[in-house]
């Protein structure tokens, strides 16, 4: 099947229905493997590439920059700022000083004079929101970024930011990047409805739950290697017993359909109307080839609802859940 395209919120920018995340570039994937994956993604129809200044300690941006340099305009490219990249005490957070320096470094590594979207990678409790938003607006006015974007903020923080941006005439956040998969569904409560109401684009990360939904895990089944085994962050994030039970049932559902669990997990995420593009990533060509099969699976409402029943829906934003159904007094 052909890769579908979507428009990112109100920007008019057209992107592939899958985004490719470059977190493995320069870390778990060397340059040769990274380049193979880049070209495989492009051949499949992907034009949307997500990066960050901390991926591979800057190597991800260097690799991606080299891969896109001949046809930069064809690609929609993102990067991020927040996490420390050096021992410099000012080399972290969302101060103007760090944002300006980090973007200049990112553009240099990518070999481009602009980013399509620039993400704040987390919330900075030490910098006034107004300062951060003013800095992003100045970067838009300077032509260094086309649109500000936001990752790992709560819905109230984003809404507050949108209010400040509107009040001051700043360029608003146009794209959001939350975690979202079958076992991590918190985004359904406020983030995705907010994005739909505000007409924001959404690229969600971890559609495979750090590998949990690839068929390698079950209630008593564990692989020898993998993120959930090797990385304490992922082990903590997905380590609850109920998640492995969901993974086992999900794998059985995929087996019944005759499809690999990974593309099914990605297709489930992509079916949500609030999602512009799930971010797929891979350590190697073998993993990438499996994930790319998501575009060949036709998710139906029936399959979507059956899969959704495998994991608990998150509680609503208020404790008056009956209001959502209209059955209230």
Q: For 169, what's the count of Cα atoms within 13 Å in the CB-facing half-sphere?
A: 1
DSSP of 165-233, one letter per residue? HHHHTPPPP-EEE-B-BTTB-GGGTTHHHHHHHHT-EEEEB-TTGGGTTTTS--SS---SSSHHHH-HH
Catalytic residue among 55, 180, 205, 217: 55
Q: Token pair of 29, please?
A: 């994937």
Give the helix, strand, coil percentages of the chain, each rounded to 5. 45, 15, 40
Instruction: Tell me if the domain spanning 5-325 has CATH number 2.60.120.10.
Output: no
Which pLDDT does position 228 carry in this prediction?
80
Mean pLDDT by 10 residues, the chain (329 residues): 95 98 97 98 98 97 98 98 96 98 98 98 98 98 98 98 98 98 97 98 97 90 78 84 95 97 98 98 97 96 97 86 55
Which pLDDT does position 329 carry in this prediction?
47
Distance (Å, whole) CA 36 – CA 46: 14
The yes-or-no answer on residue 180 being catalytic is no
Any idea where the domains of the chain sit in the sequence?
Answer: 5-325
How buried is residue 232: exposed, middle or buried, by Cβ count under 10 Å (0-12/13-18/19+)? exposed
């Amino acid at each position: 099947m052909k890769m579908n395209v979507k428009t990112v919120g109100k920007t008019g920018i057209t992107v592939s229905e899958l985004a490719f995340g470059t977190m493995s570039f320069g870390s778990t994937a060397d340059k040769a493997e990274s380049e193979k994956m880049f070209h495989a993604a492009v051949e499949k129809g992907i034009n949307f590439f997500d990066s960050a200044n901390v991926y591979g300690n800057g190597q991800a941006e260097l690799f991606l920059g080299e891969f896109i340099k001949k046809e930069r305009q064809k690609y929609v490219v993102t990067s991020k700022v927040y996490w420390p990249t050096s021992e410099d005490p000012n080399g972290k957070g969302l101060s103007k000083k760090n944002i300006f320096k980090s973007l200049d470094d990112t553009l240099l590594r990518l070999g481009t004079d602009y980013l399509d979207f620039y993400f704040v990678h987390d919330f900075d409790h030490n910098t006034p929101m107004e300062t951060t938003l003013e800095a992003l607006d100045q970067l838009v006015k300077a032509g260094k970024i086309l649109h500000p974007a936001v990752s790992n903020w709560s819905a109230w923080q984003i809404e507050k930011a949108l209010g400040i941006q509107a009040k001051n005439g700043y360029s608003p956040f146009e794209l959001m990047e939350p975690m979202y998969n079958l076992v991590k569904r918190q985004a359904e409560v406020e983030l995705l409805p907010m994005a739909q109401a505000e007409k924001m684009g959404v690229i969600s990360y971890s559609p495979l739950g750090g590998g949990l939904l690839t068929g390698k895990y079950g209630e008593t089944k564990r692989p020898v290697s993998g993120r959930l085994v090797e990385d304490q962050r992922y082990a903590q994030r997905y380590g609850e017993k109920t998640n492995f039970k969901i993974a086992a049932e999900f794998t059985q559902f995929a087996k019944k359909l005759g499809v690999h669990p990974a593309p099914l997990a990605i297709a489930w995420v992509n079916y949500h109307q609030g999602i512009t593009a799930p971010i797929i990533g891979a350590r190697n060509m073998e993993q990438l080839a499996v994930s790319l099969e998501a575009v060949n699976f036709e998710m139906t409402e029936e399959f979507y609802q059956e899969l959704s029943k495998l994991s608990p829906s998150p509680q609503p934003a208020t404790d008056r859940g009956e209001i959502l159904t209209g059955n209230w007094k």
